[in-house]
């Protein structure tokens, strides 16, 4: 009935998330409101860690790609669960550090890291840096030398796998702003350069083939290509690559019809490839890192809105207005992402209408979706949009000077604010 398994209808006929009445949550904390199911997030972390234990003898680390959802509390949860994290900016690094996260388990990504950020990474003891380009290798070497430290470095590789068609295409993949291309020899040159730099500790290679991927074929293909590259490096330089980072991108269920795999299937599939490759080719089994973002937090979250006016345009469409929109969820206006919605206080009733849920920003394209099946709703009703835990709060903005919503975590026993709703003074705090 619902896209996420933590959602249900309670005895009042209201939508509940992990047993918490969403109408009560909306009353208690106001709307728009992000609600995240902490228990589900923890379960997902355990599934990934457990899959590394079962299929790869624990020789790996699951890192939460925190760009999907970043605030202090999520880093505390990740720390408690034994996860690593991916970070891509000074802001994410600082947030994790301030939350007390063990920065040796942080992996620093990005295609244009600034000197400020690299200095920060050195000072805070970030465990791994994934280098994107030659200029960056030189910068890393210089800063490491200045600091009298060594950076543990992986190289971002474009494996030439198109995750969506599972075809191997060269040009399309070379045309990406991220990483070193394999097929041109650029990646191998980068390997040799990294090995020659004194202040860089060459730890391995990384790839990330895309996002919202619902099967394992692309990951298997990428793992094979990366293992062949590891063997090439061994054959030509004698160096055994210690670490292989296979990125994230595992998909979730947004709407009926999406059929994601159980998360442990990914590690199972790539572990098989790596294990058998290593056995056949006399290559040492690398430590494997995986970087799930969306799949850790996406299904765990919902967004609650209060329904405003409705506008019926005969024979064309019915608009239902909400008190949020592209400012708290820009995924429709960015790429026509699809969502499932429920009228939270009428969750047991049939969805007998199809409506366009319109946001409140001054953009015609500001919508949560078009043609969305929904219970008949009236002003004051609470609309829940499902599976908004990833890339919603993280991508929220202040357009139209809207205040960012609060984020509430719920678990089996309680609910609590983890990010406060912004005030009007927050909005002007940097204005002179
Ligand atoms: C975005 C990203 C991820 C996470 O992707 P999801 O689709 O959220 O799992 C992991 N690694 C890298 C390098 C990324 O850029």
DSSP string, 166-206: --B-SHHHHS-SSSEESTTSHHHHHHHHHHH-TTEEEEEEE
Most ligand 1 atoms within 8 A of CB, residue of 249, 260, 391 to mutate = 249
DSSP track, 216-246: SHHHHHHHHHHHHHHHHHHHHH-PPP-EEE-
Count Cα atoms within 13 angstroms, Cβ side, for 129.
34
Residue 427 resides in a domain: no
> Does ligand 1 have an atom closer than 6 angstroms to the CB of 67?
yes
**Residue 359, domain extent:** 7-37+299-421
Verify that 220 and 319 share a domain, yes or no.
no
> Does ligand 1 have an atom closer than 6 angstroms to the CB of 86?
yes
Q: Decide if 35 contacts 304 (C-beta within 8 A).
A: yes
Confidence of residue 161 (pLDDT cuts 50, 70, 90): confident
Query: Is residue 173 over pLDDT 80?
Result: no
Query: Is residue 219 over pLDDT 80?
Result: yes
Query: Is residue 127 over pLDDT 70?
Result: yes
> Does ligand 1 have an atom closer than 6 angstroms to the CB of 81?
no
Q: Decide if 117 contacts 124 (C-beta within 8 A).
A: no
pLDDT at 210: 86
Verify that 137 and 277 share a domain, yes or no.
yes
Task: Work out whether the CA dihedral 152, 158, 162, 166 comes out positive or negative.
Answer: negative
Instruction: Encode pLDDT of 41-84 as tens digits.
Output: 999 999 999 999 999 999 999 999 999 999 999 999 999 999 99
DSSP track, 70-83: --HHHHHHHHHHT-
Verify that 255 and 319 share a domain, yes or no.
no
Q: What CATH number does the domain containing 343 carry?
A: 2.40.37.10
Looking from the CA of residue 68, the nearest atom of ligand 1 is 8
Element housing 320 (H / E): strand 317-322
Rounded distance, CA 256 to CA 3, Å?
A: 6
Closest CA relative to residue 220, chosen from 156, 285, 272: 272
Rounded distance, CA 98 to CA 166, Å?
A: 40
Instruction: Encode pLDDT of 78-112 as tens digits.
Output: 999 999 999 999 999 999 999 999 999 999 999 99
Verify that 42 and 144 share a domain, yes or no.
yes
Q: Which two tokens stand for residue 316?
A: 């064309």
Query: Is residue 171 over pLDDT 60?
Result: no
Instruction: Encode pLDDT of 179-216 as tens digits.
Output: 899 988 999 999 999 999 999 999 999 999 888 888 89
Verify that 226 and 79 share a domain, yes or no.
yes
> Does ligand 1 have an atom closer than 6 angstroms to the CB of 246?
no
Backbone angles phi, psi at 203, to 5 degrees: -100, -30
Verify that 172 and 196 share a domain, yes or no.
yes
pLDDT, the chain, mean? 95
Coil, helix or strand at residue 285: coil
Verify that 213 and 362 share a domain, yes or no.
no
Verify that 97 and 220 share a domain, yes or no.
yes
Q: Which residues contact 429 (CB under 8 A, 6 or more apart)?
A: none
Looking from the CA of residue 291, the nearest atom of ligand 1 is 10
Distance of CA 208 from the midpoint of ligand 1 (Å): 7
Residue 431 resides in a domain: no
Task: Write down the H helix ranges in 282-318.
Answer: 294-297
> Does ligand 1 have an atom closer than 6 angstroms to the CB of 245?
no
Rounded distance, CA 398 to CA 298, Å?
A: 22
- End of a domain among 258, 273, 297? 297
Rounded distance, CA 14 to CA 25, Å?
A: 11
Distance of CA 327 from the midpoint of ligand 1 (Å): 22
Verify that 175 and 318 share a domain, yes or no.
no
Q: What is the pTM of this model?
A: 0.96
Residue 212 resides in a domain: yes
Question: Nearest C-alpha to atom 3 of ligand 1 is from which residue?
Answer: 248
Verify that 83 and 228 share a domain, yes or no.
yes
> Does ligand 1 have an atom closer than 6 angstroms to the CB of 132?
no
- End of a domain among 239, 267, 297? 297
pLDDT at 163: 63
Verify that 272 and 184 share a domain, yes or no.
yes
Closest CA relative to residue 221, chosen from 263, 173, 178: 173
Q: What CATH number does the domain containing 56 carry?
A: 3.20.20.10
Residue 430 resides in a domain: no
Distance of CA 68 from the midpoint of ligand 1 (Å): 8
- End of a domain among 297, 314, 339? 297
Per the structure, the count of domains in the chain is: 2
> Does ligand 1 have an atom closer than 6 angstroms to the CB of 301?
no
> Does ligand 1 have an atom closer than 6 angstroms to the CB of 291?
yes
Distance of CA 212 from the midpoint of ligand 1 (Å): 10
Residue 118 resides in a domain: yes
Q: Which residues contact 66 (CB under 8 A, 6 or more apart)?
A: 74, 75, 78, 85, 86, 87, 92, 96, 293
Walk across the sheet containing 20-21 and list its strands. Answer: 7-9, 15-17, 20-21
> Does ligand 1 have an atom closer than 6 angstroms to the CB of 249?
yes
Confidence of residue 162 (pLDDT cuts 50, 70, 90): low
Verify that 69 and 138 share a domain, yes or no.
yes
Mean pLDDT across 391-406: 98
pLDDT at 169: 44
Q: Which residues are catalytic?
A: 362
Q: Decide if 77 contacts 42 (C-beta within 8 A).
A: yes
Residue 432 resides in a domain: no
Distance of CA 61 from the midpoint of ligand 1 (Å): 15
Most ligand 1 atoms within 8 A of CB, residue of 67, 111, 248 to mutate = 248
Instruction: Encode pLDDT of 325-383 as tens digits.
Output: 999 999 999 989 999 999 999 999 999 999 999 999 999 999 999 999 999 999 999 99
Residue 426 resides in a domain: no
Q: Which two tokens stand for residue 373?
A: 């099946």
Distance of CA 241 from the midpoint of ligand 1 (Å): 22
Closest CA relative to residue 50, chosen from 284, 294, 267, 352: 267
Residue 217 resides in a domain: yes
Distance of CA 387 from the midpoint of ligand 1 (Å): 17
Q: Which two tokens stand for residue 318?
A: 């019915």
């Amino acid at each position: 009935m619902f896209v996420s398994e933590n959602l249900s209808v309670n005895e009042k006929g209201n939508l509940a998330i992990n047993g918490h009445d969403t109408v009560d949550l909306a009353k208690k904390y106001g709307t728009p409101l992000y609600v995240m199911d902490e228990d589900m997030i923890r379960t997902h972390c355990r599934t990934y860690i457990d899959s590394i234990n079962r299929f790869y003898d624990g020789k790996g680390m699951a890192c939460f790609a925190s760009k999907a959802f970043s605030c202090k509390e999520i880093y505390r949860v990740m720390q408690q669960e034994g996860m690593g994290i991916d970070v891509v900016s000074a802001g994410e690094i600082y947030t994790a550090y301030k939350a007390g996260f063990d920065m040796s388990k942080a992996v620093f990504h990005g295609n244009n890291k600034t000197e400020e950020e690299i200095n920060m990474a050195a000072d805070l003891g970030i465990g791994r840096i994934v280098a994107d380009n030659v200029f960056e290798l030189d910068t890393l070497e210089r800063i490491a030398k200045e600091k009298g430290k060594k950076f543990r470095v992986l190289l971002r590789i474009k494996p030439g796998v198109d995750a969506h068609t599972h075809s191997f295409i060269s040009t399309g993949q070379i045309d990406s702003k991220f990483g070193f291309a394999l097929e041109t020899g650029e990646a191998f040159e980068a390997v040799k350069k990294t090995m020659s730099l004194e202040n860089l500790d060459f730890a391995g290679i990384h790839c990330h083939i895309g996002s919202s991927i619902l099967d394992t074929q692309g990951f298997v293909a990428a793992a094979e290509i990366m293992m062949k590259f590891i063997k090439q490096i061994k054959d030509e330089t004698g160096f055994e690559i210690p670490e292989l980072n296979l990125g994230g991108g595992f998909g979730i269920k947004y709407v009926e019809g999406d059929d994601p795999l159980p998360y442990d299937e990914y590690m199972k599939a790539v572990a098989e490839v790596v294990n058998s490759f290593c056995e056949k080719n006399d290559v040492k089994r690398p430590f494997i890192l995986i970087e799930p973002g969306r799949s850790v937090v996406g299904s765990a979250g919902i967004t609650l809105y209060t329904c405003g006016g409705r506008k019926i345009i005969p024979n064309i469409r019915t608009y239902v207005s909400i008190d949020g929109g592209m400012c708290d969820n820009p995924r429709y206006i960015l790429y026509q992402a699809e969502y499932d919605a429920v009228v939270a206080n009428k969750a047991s009733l049939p969805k007998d209408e199809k409506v366009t849920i319109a946001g409140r920003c001054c953009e015609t394209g500001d919508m949560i979706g078009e043609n969305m099946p929904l219970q008949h709703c009236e002003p004051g009703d609470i609309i829940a949009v499902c599976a908004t835990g990833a890339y919603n709060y993280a991508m929220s903005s202040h357009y139209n000077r809207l205040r960012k919503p609060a984020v509430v975590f719920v678990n089996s026993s309680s609910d609590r604010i983890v990010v406060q709703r912004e005030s009007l003074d927050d909005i002007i705090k940097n204005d002179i």
